[in-house]
């Protein structure tokens, strides 16, 4: 009883409770963190482009391999976030602390296994995804270093999720800012060979990434065990909570599978349309994918913040509050996405001209940006409502919808419109919009039905 009371006091002192924070206070730090995380890879590629074009391309290739094998991290962090917010909402600090330390332990275990696989089999993995020649050589150098220390990233992700669930979204943001600044500085020093250090090229970028992640993990651990947990909480792992581990994977696998199926469908679509799009259309597609990311990045952070708030509400039994929060978050995200899309349409020519001076590419991308506003309506709805459903513990429904819609409308529609009907990139975008809008409607219907209210993952 004394140990439980100790945990309770500590958790309450540490928790900037999302019940006391509004959506904006939770979301804006995660928006900046998400943007900086995206920029981290871009900086690596940009600095390497000053060294060698093939070296820059090789980092992208290596990161594709990393994204495939790290799906297991998504399984653990997704489940940990759902369980942790509901335990906190239910005022069960001991269970919340056990979930937190178990999440770290599972991420560390998975990270070590993945790191070992990438360290030993980097070349075969890269060859499997199509790397060859100089790109294979460069990518192998990068992956053997970054992959071998990937467990630091796994642990840092787990700690970031824990702090977010406690309402502390600013601290992970500040750590990410520091990591980005350090990584950029080290990239420049190691790649360009400043201060007497030899030009290390791809290996230099890899070393810079690893050093940044190690330092980031160390800082995050210090913050976590000062603000949220105690070292004594590690005792909660003994005896090993086997039931909790099973629950982690029951929740995490469907959540990760939905994201995996979406990414896999996009990969299949790319392979389908690669030979039917013109060179100008392919270039336009590359630029459009980057530009449209700016349209929905706010929706990502709003969805993440909503998942935290709804998890707390569901854990506390405040179902009506959770329901209203879901619709409120969706309205805000749609307003922002629509405004961003209209601005993109209004300034489409100068915006695309930042990337290219090819008039054909500008013309194609400008036309697609007009179609894209329909896609953003669906995509924004999915990003927010799927996050809300996950926060409530409803993880199977979005995955079932993804199996049907991604592959019938997105993949099948892309082939029909882009290839069979010869509509090229316009047909591709229409198919993508149909998939997003159809799934968006299904997610809204699910939220309105209140069936998610029976999916609570923690006992009262």
What residue spans of 228-358 are helical by DSSP H?
A: 242-273, 279-316, 319-346, 348-353
- Tell the burial category of 217 from Cβ atoms under 10 Å away from its Cβ (0-12, 13-18, 19+): buried
**Residue 256's pLDDT is what?**
82
Indicate the SS3 state at residue 458. Answer: coil
Could you give the count of Cα atoms lying within 13 Å of 160 in the half-sphere of its Cβ?
A: 26
**Residue 5's pLDDT is what?**
40
Q: Which of 155, 149, 164 is nearest to 218 (CA)?
A: 155
CB-based contact 62:41 (threshold 8 Å): no
Residue with the two structure tokens 């409607």: 441
Q: Which of 67, 166, 74 is nearest to 395 (CA)?
A: 74
Mean pLDDT score of the chain: 87
**Residue 87's pLDDT is what?**
93
**Residue 197's pLDDT is what?**
80
pLDDT in tens, 252-272: 888 888 878 887 787 788 777
Output the 3-class SS for 162-184: HHHHCCCCHHHHHHHHHHHHHHH
Domain range list for the chain:
2-240, 251-454
The answer for residues whose C-beta is within 8 angstroms of residue 349's C-beta and 6 or more apart is 362, 366
Residue with the two structure tokens 């179609």: 371
Give dist(CA 32, CA 208) in Å, integer.
22
The answer for residues whose C-beta is within 8 angstroms of residue 86's C-beta and 6 or more apart is 311, 312, 314, 315, 393, 456, 457, 458
- Output the CA–CA distances (angstroms, integers) from residue 287 to 13, 19, 281, 338, in the order listed: 46, 40, 10, 20
pLDDT in tens, 51-94: 776 777 677 778 777 877 777 888 888 899 999 999 999 999 99
Low pLDDT (below 70) residues in the chain:
1-21, 41-42, 49-50, 53, 57, 129-130, 274, 460
pLDDT in tens, 316-360: 999 999 999 999 999 999 999 999 999 999 999 998 888 788 899
Residue 438's H or E segment, with its range, is helix 424-449
The token duo for 31 is 């928006």
CB-based contact 410:265 (threshold 8 Å): yes
Does the pTM surpass 0.75? The reply is: yes
Q: What angle do CA 409, 412, 413 make, to 5 degrees?
A: 60
Q: Which of 77, 145, 147 is nearest to 107 (CA)?
A: 77
How far from each other are the two terminal CA atoms of the chain, in whole angstroms? 19
**Residue 56's pLDDT is what?**
73
Please state the length of the chain: 460
**What backbone phi and psi angles, to 5 degrees, belong to 228?**
-120, -55
**Residue 221's pLDDT is what?**
96
């Amino acid at each position: 009883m004394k140990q439980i009371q100790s945990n309770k006091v500590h958790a309450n002192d540490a928790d900037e409770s999302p019940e006391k924070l509004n959506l904006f206070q939770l979301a804006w730090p995660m928006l900046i963190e998400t943007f900086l995380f995206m920029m981290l890879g871009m900086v690596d590629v940009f600095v390497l482009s000053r060294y060698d074009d093939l070296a820059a391309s090789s980092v992208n290739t290596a990161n594709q391999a990393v994204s495939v094998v790290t799906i297991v991290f998504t399984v653990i962090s997704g489940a940990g976030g759902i369980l942790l917010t509901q335990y906190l909402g239910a005022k069960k600090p001991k269970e919340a602390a056990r979930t937190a330390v178990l999440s770290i332990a599972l991420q560390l275990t998975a990270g070590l296994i993945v790191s070992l696989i990438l360290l030993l089999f980097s070349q075969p993995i890269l060859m499997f995804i199509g790397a060859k020649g100089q790109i294979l050589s460069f990518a192998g150098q990068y992956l053997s270093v970054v992959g071998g220390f990937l467990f630091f990233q796994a642990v840092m992700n787990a700690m970031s999720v824990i702090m977010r669930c406690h309402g502390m979204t600013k601290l992970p943001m500040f750590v990410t800012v520091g990591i980005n600044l350090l990584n950029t500085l080290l990239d420049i020093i190691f790649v360009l060979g400043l201060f007497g250090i030899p030009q290390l090229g791809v290996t230099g970028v890899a070393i810079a990434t690893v050093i940044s992640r190690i330092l980031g993990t160390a800082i995050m651990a210090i913050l976590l065990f000062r603000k949220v947990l105690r070292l004594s909480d590690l005792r909660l792992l003994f005896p090993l909570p086997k039931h909790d581990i099973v629950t982690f994977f029951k929740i995490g696998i469907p959540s990760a599978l939905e994201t995996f199926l979406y990414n896999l469908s996009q990969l299949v679509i790319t392979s389908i349309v690669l030979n039917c799009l013109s060179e100008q259309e392919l270039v336009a597609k590359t630029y459009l994918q980057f530009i449209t990311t700016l349209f929905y990045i706010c929706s990502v952070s709003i969805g993440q913040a909503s998942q935290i708030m709804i998890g707390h509400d569901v854990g506390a039994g405040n179902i009506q509050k959770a329901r209203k929060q879901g619709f409120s978050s969706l309205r805000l995200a749609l307003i922002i996405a629509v405004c961003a899309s209209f601005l993109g349409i209004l300034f489409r020519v100068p915006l695309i001209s930042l990337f290219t001076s090819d008039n054909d590419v500008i013309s194609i991308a400008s036309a697609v940006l007009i179609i894209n506003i329909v896609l953003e309506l669906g995509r924004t709805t999915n990003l927010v409502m799927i996050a809300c459903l996950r926060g409530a513990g409803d993880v199977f429904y979005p995955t079932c919808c993804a199996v049907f819609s991604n592959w019938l409308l997105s993949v099948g529609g892309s082939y029909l419109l882009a290839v069979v009907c010869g509509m090229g990139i316009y047909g591709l975008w229409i198919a993508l919009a149909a998939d997003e809008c159809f799934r968006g409607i299904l997610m809204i219907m699910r939220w309105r039905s209140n069936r998610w209210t029976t999916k609570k993952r923690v006992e009262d």
